Amino acid sequence: MKQVNRKAIILFFSLIIIVPLLVFTAMRWYENNIEGLPYYHSGTSIEDADVPHLTVPDFAFLNTDSSALKGSFVKEKVWVVNYFFTSCPTICPKMMAGMRLIQQAFPNDKQVRLLSFTVDPYHDTPTKLKKYAVKHSIDLQQWQLGTGSKPELYRFARNGLFITATDGDGGEGDFIHSDKIVLVDRQNHIRGYYDGTDEDEISRLITDISRLKVSPPNK
């Protein structure tokens, strides 16, 4: 009888541990494979399902060859975008390392594009950005570095991507320093914000890119 009770107790406690673990695993699988990513508006505010989804506006800047860098580069692609500057000694190196991990996760993938715009266009000329790209093994076919008019660059950051809540006019004293990487889907809807200095966040971003690649257009 004692042997039977011992087995029952072991089974009971095993179920207490295993069942919640199975439920948690199933929920995580659902979140990562079936549940759709949210849509964002005005930064990290998740949009109401009944409100038309915000679309990231078109843009026109310069790439490392002093050629036009336009929205056509990311048209009908899943893309990620961040802001940085080449002389940044703090968060930018970590963010750009995170962007390189994304590039490495999707090598030569024609469905995925990366963009990095400078916050310091006075110093980050196309030539300087080109040297930076070469030094850091950036595949410019997939990942473009952009510069241009500071007011336009800052307007796109604030009003197109909502990566900062600070006001400004892109003038000489204006400065943006954000650690956010933004995920945008094939219809130019913002689908996520990620801490570009956090490896776990980068891993989650890579997973979410894969989800958007295989999901229906409005999922």
Class of domain 40-214: alpha beta
Q: What is the pLDDT of residue 13?
A: 61
Distance CA 68, CA 61 (A): 6
What residues form DSSP beta bridges with 69? 61
What residues form DSSP beta bridges with 143? 114
* Residue 77 DSSP symbol: S
Q: Is the pTM of this model over 0.85?
A: no
Q: What is the pLDDT of residue 30?
A: 41
Any residues with CB less than 8 A from the CB of 104 and at least 6 apart, and which? none
- Residue closest to 73 by CA, chosen among 56, 58, 54: 58
Q: What is the pLDDT of residue 23?
A: 41
Angle in degrees, CA 131, 152, 130, rounded to 5: 5
Q: What is the pLDDT of residue 164?
A: 82
What is the pLDDT tens value at each position of the chain, 219 positions in all? 555 566 666 666 666 776 555 444 434 444 444 357 999 877 666 656 555 578 999 999 999 999 999 999 999 999 999 999 999 999 999 999 999 999 999 999 999 999 999 999 999 999 999 999 999 999 999 999 999 999 999 999 999 999 986 776 677 766 788 999 999 999 999 999 999 999 999 999 999 999 999 876 554
Distance CA 124, CA 194 (A): 24
Buried b (16+ CB within 10 A) or exposed e, 121-147: beebbbebbbebbeeeebeeebbbbbb
Q: What is the pLDDT of residue 42?
A: 74
Distance CA 208, CA 217 (A): 14
Q: Which two tokens stand for residue 25?
A: 């695993």
Distance CA 186, CA 79 (A): 8
